Amino acid sequence: MSRVFQGCRVLMAAAKSGTKSTAASSTEKPKNIGLMKPLPVSPALKKFVGAAEVSRAEAVKKIWEHIKSNNLQNPANKREIRCDEKLKSIFEGKDTVGMMEIARLLKPHFL
């Protein structure tokens, strides 16, 4: 049995040395691309978030913080958000918004 596992040890040692190089590369600073890239925003979103440039992910995060802190989720249907005046200014004046609509409704606010 030891003969079978000796071959695996060689392969495992090679795999371990390969993971060290990937671990070193993961500590590098990630590039701001895609959802993480800060973009200029509309005046309405600027007023809501408090910054002239924000990434899409950060904007969604701020919106969810507002939703959770003000208890705006419908308790009967957790996928539905009841909009207050601040959210209505961003979400085209809608009274209720679905969770999956948030990203689509934010799209026109990124210039």
Assign residue 51 the CATH number of its domain.
1.10.245.10
Residue 4 falls inside a structural domain:
no
What SS3 class is residue 27?
A: coil
Residue 48: inside a domain: yes
CB atoms within 10 A of CB 9: 9
pLDDT in tens, 57-84: 999 999 999 999 999 999 999 999 999 9
CB count within 10 Å of CB 40 equals 13
- Identify which of 34, 62, 36 has the alpha carbon closest to the alpha carbon of residue 48: 62
Q: 84 in helix, strand or coil?
A: coil
Q: What is the pTM of this model?
A: 0.68
Q: How many CB atoms lie within 10 A of CB 67?
A: 19
- Domain membership flag for residue 3: no
